[in-house]
């Protein structure tokens, strides 16, 4: 069965890509040929289908984790990358349009995106479908500049730029996978990150820039391990200039750098755990800022996979990523972020990890009693 | 009978006029909804110099046509409020200078919009903002004219005296804004 797994996974991924085009926005004139209206007319069916896809992806992921084989890892990563890159990006989030909008403000209109909102450029067709067009640039200046690369490559063609943006972001995903391999030399760790459905969907489908920020953060710690302190600091700074969240890593970085300067032996697993904890803190603090966005979990998860010995935490986190992917369903079903649907969204995030936590607790007690 | 009706009408008219006169201070006549900033640090304060440096740096941060429009209008607002505050404290020379700065910045707003329009940007919303701002500036300038003398003779130590035509300056400033207001 496991031999055919990459083929099955590829098939499900292709069906998911087709499924994603059911969510094309009527206002998105560049994708108008793909518009069907199914996601809004048949909400129950699309929500259930999405739930089934998520179940299949996570089941496959767990099967993979139980059967770590190097040949499969590469195949599955390639299949996931190529397959999901072709999907419609706004099935779950409109952020990619926001990235392009911000990029357009700077590189086409030659205005400061930290002062001018996309909505100020009246008549621009992207305003018909870009959400949060009434906000100035939300990300760090390095991201704003980096986003000019995919925008330039696509020669201003909006349709092309959507996919070039996704390809651009996925390069950093490959970079993270490479660094995980370098840091741990564990295929389990690579698989944990690279095959996680949330990481794959949020990166290759939605094109979120979180992997860009985490790539630079991970590179900083990799260089720190190699005792290249200055370069390490520069890359940590670059990471914070993508999305600011990695500023929370600075205390851990200073501690590790101080120990390195004084030639003291470092327990790197402990350092990664501190990093994980710092990023978990920012992730949880995001509740107070706005709400929990599923892709934010990539921040702590990137460091957690570096400590494969922390099995319990890892499985609790996998359950959390599962819950976060399920949290899209209330909106998908109702089209509302408010009232009972907001409550259901929060519930769906925490139910899987809470249940798993209870299970692990009783399992431990049961073993002790035995 | 007709005499009585005329008397009634006269009474109603007088009563209405009385109500109008009593409430005169509460009546708002076509005031602009544009909001001016609070006065910031005034000349002589150490923070004033810091703000000057900050404003100079902001000039580069506010790049682009819309950026320059926002920057110029923001600075024009700031110096107008500064001028008003200084006039209220009878600091006529400083107030006059602040008004000159406000005018200089205000005169840069429209060229920035013209430049944006030439590049294909829709400036209709910004034009409305400018119109609102000009209206508010005119309101403030008219109020300022009520609290300052027509002319002010400034005689600094060991320097040539200066004669400031304050009302003329206010009229010039109003005319500059009315070009955008009308």
Which letter does DSSP use for residue B45 in this model?
Answer: S
Question: Which one of B66, B122, B124, B130 makes the best mutation probe of the A interface by having the most chain A beta carbons within 10 Å?
Answer: B66
A110 in B contact zone (CB under 8 Å): yes
Q: Does residue B27 lie in a domain region?
A: no
Asked if A289 is an interface residue toward chain B (Cβ–Cβ < 8 A), one would say: no
Q: How far apart are CA B108 and CA B85, in angstroms?
A: 23
User: 3-class SS at B156?
Assistant: coil
What integer is the mean pLDDT of B157-172? 86
**Are the Cβ atoms of A116 and B124 closer than 8 angstroms?**
no
Q: Tell me the C-alpha distance between A199 and A169, whole Å.
A: 12
b/e per residue A104-139 (b: at least 16 CB within 10 A): bbbbebebbbbbbbbebbeebebbebbebbeeebbb
A116 touches chain B (CB under 8 A): yes
Chain A neighbors of B70, CB-CB under 8 A: 115
A121 touches chain B (CB under 8 A): yes
Q: What is the pLDDT of residues B78-121, one digit of tens each?
A: 999 999 999 999 999 999 999 999 999 999 999 999 999 999 99
What pLDDT is recorded for position A369? 64
Residue B11 within a domain? no
3-state class (DSSP) for residue B77 = helix
B50 CA: distance to closest CA in chain A (Å): 22
**Rounded (10°) CA dihedral A201, A203, A206, A207:** -160
Cβ neighbours of B61 in A, within 8 Å: 112, 115
Which residues in chain B are contacts of A122 at CB distance < 8 A? Answer: 122, 124-125
Q: Quick check: is B77 in a domain?
A: yes
B contact test, residue of A114, A116, A134 with most B CBs within 10 A: A116
On whether any CB of chain B is under 8 Å from the CB of A111, the answer is yes
Give chain B positions within 8 Å (CB) of A110: 63-65
* C-alpha span between B107 and B128 (Å, rounded): 16
Question: What does the angle CA B117 – CA B119 – CA B120 come to, to the nearest 5 degrees?
Answer: 65
Give CA separation, A156 vs A135, A240, A243, A340, B165, in Å: 22, 28, 25, 41, 55
- Would residue B6 count as lying in a domain? no
pLDDT band at residue B26 using 50, 70 and 90 as cut-offs: very low
Q: State whether residue A291 sits within 8 Å of chain B by CB.
A: no
Within a domain: B19 = no
pTM: 0.85
Q: Do B67 and A122 touch (CB under 8 A)?
A: no
Of A109, A110, A115, which has the smallest distance from its Cβ to B70's Cβ? A115
What residues in A contact B63, CB-CB < 8 Å? 110-112
Chain A interface mutation, best of B65, B67, B124, highest count of A Cβ atoms under 10 Å: B67
- The whole-number pLDDT of residue A10 equals 79
Beta-carbon separation of B67 and A115 below 8 A: yes
| A275/B10: higher pLDDT | A275
pLDDT on residue B8: 61
Under-70 pLDDT residues of chain A: 1-3, 69-73, 366-370
Residue B28: pLDDT band with limits 50, 70, 90 = very low
Inter-chain residue contact A116 with B66, CB threshold 8 Å: yes
Q: Is A122 on the interface with B (CB under 8 A)?
A: yes
**B156 in a structural domain:** yes
- CA A155 to chain B, closest CA, distance in angstroms equals 19
Q: With 50 as the cut, is the pLDDT of residue B27 above it?
A: no
Which of A107, A111, A118 to probe the B interface (max B CBs under 10 A)? A111
Q: Which residue of B has its CA nearest to A111?
A: B64
Structure tokens at A344: 């259901």
Model confidence at B5: pLDDT above 60: no
Contact A112 B124 (CB under 8 A): no
Q: Please report residues of A whose CB lies closer than 8 A to that of B119.
A: 109
Residue B136 located in a structural domain: yes
Q: Is the Cβ pair B64, A121 closer than 8 Å? A: no
Kindly determine whether residue B64 and residue A120, on different chains, have CB atoms separated by under 8 Å: no
Beta-carbon separation of A116 and B122 below 8 A: no
At A325, list the tokens.
């992917």
Q: Is residue A112 within 8 angstroms of chain B, CB to CB?
A: yes
Better-scored residue on pLDDT, A223 or B26: A223
Comparing CB atoms, the residue among B64, B119, B124 nearest residue A112 is B64
ipTM of the complex: 0.81
Residues of B in contact with A116 (CB under 8 A): 64, 66-67
Note down the domain range covering B103.
Answer: 37-181
- Which of A49, A161, A185 lies closest to A98 in space, CA to CA? A161
Distance CA B153, CA A294 (A): 69
Q: Inter-chain contact A115–B65, Cβ cutoff 8 Å?
A: no
- DSSP string covering A275-318: HHHHHHHHHHHHHHHS---GGGGHHHHHHHTT-TT-HHHHHHHH
Residue B9 has pLDDT above 70, yes or no: no
- Pull the structure tokens for residue A95: 């952020």
Total count of domains within chain B: 1
Which pLDDT score, from 0 to 100, does residue B21 have?
43
Q: Which of A110, A112, A120 lies at the smallest CB-CB distance from B62?
A: A112
Residue of A nearest to B71 (CA): A115
Predicted local distance difference test score (pLDDT) of residue A125: 85
Note whether residue B142 is domain-resident: yes
């Amino acid at each position: 069965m496991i031999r055919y797994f990459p083929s099955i996974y590829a098939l499900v991924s292709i069906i998911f890509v087709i499924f994603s085009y059911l969510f094309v926005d009527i206002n998105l004139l560049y994708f108008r040929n793909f518009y069907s209206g199914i996601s809004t007319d048949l909400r129950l069916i699309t929500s259930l289908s999405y739930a089934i896809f998520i179940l299949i992806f996570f089941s496959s992921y767990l099967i993979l984790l139980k059967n770590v084989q190097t040949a499969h890892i590469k195949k599955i990563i390639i299949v996931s990358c190529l397959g999901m890159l072709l999907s419609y990006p706004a099935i779950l989030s409109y952020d990619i349009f926001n990235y392009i909008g911000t990029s357009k403000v700077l590189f086409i209109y030659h205005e400061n995106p930290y002062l001018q909102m996309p909505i100020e450029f009246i008549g621009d067709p992207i305003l018909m479908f870009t959400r949060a067009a009434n906000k100035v640039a939300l990300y760090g200046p390095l991201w704003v500049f980096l986003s000019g690369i995919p925008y330039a490559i696509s020669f201003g063609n909006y349709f092309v730029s959507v996919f070039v943006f996704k390809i651009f972001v996925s390069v950093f995903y490959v970079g993270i996978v490479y660094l995980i391999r370098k840091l741990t030399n564990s295929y389990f760790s690579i698989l944990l990150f690279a095959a996680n459905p949330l990481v794959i969907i949020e990166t290759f489908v939605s094109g979120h820039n979180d992997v860009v920020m985490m790539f630079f953060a991970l590179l900083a710690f990799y260089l720190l391990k190699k005792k290249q302190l200055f370069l390490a600091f520069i890359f940590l700074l670059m990471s914070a200039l993508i999305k600011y969240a990695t500023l929370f890593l600075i205390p851990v970085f200073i501690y590790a750098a101080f120990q390195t300067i004084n030639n003291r032996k470092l327990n790197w697993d402990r350092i990664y755990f501190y990093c994980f904890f710092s990023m978990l803190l920012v992730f949880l603090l995001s509740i107070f800022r706005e709400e929990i966005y599923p892709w934010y979990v990539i921040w702590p998860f990137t460091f957690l996979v570096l400590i494969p010995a922390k099995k319990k935490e890892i499985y609790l986190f996998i359950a959390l990523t599962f819950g976060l992917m399920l949290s899209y369903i209330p909106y998908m079903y109702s089209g509302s972020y408010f009232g009972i649907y907001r409550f259901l969204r929060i519930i769906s995030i925490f139910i899987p990890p809470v249940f798993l936590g209870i299970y692990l607790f009783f399992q431990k007690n049961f073993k002790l009693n035995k | 009978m007709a005499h009585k009706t005329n008397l009634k009408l006269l009474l109603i008219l007088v009563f209405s006029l009385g109500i109008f006169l009593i409430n005169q201070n509460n009546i708002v006549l076509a005031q602009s909804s544009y909001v001016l900033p609070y006065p910031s640090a005034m000349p002589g304060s150490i923070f004033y110099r810091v703000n000057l440096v900050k404003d100079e740096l902001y000039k580069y941060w506010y790049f682009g046509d819309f950026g320059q429009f926002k920057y110029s209008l923001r600075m024009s607002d700031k110096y107008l409020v500064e001028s008003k505050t200084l006039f209220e404290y009878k600091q006529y020379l400083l107030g006059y200078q602040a008004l000159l700065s406000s005018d200089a910045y205000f005169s840069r707003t429209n060229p920035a919009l013209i430049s944006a329009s030439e590049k294909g940007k829709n400036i209709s919303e910004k034009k409305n903002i400018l119109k609102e701002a000009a209206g508010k500036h005119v309101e403030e300038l008219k109020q300022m004219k009520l609290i300052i003398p027509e002319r002010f003779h400034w005689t600094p130590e060991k320097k040539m005296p200066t004669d400031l035509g304050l009302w003329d300056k206010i009229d010039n400033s109003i005319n500059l804004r009315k070009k955008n207001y009308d």
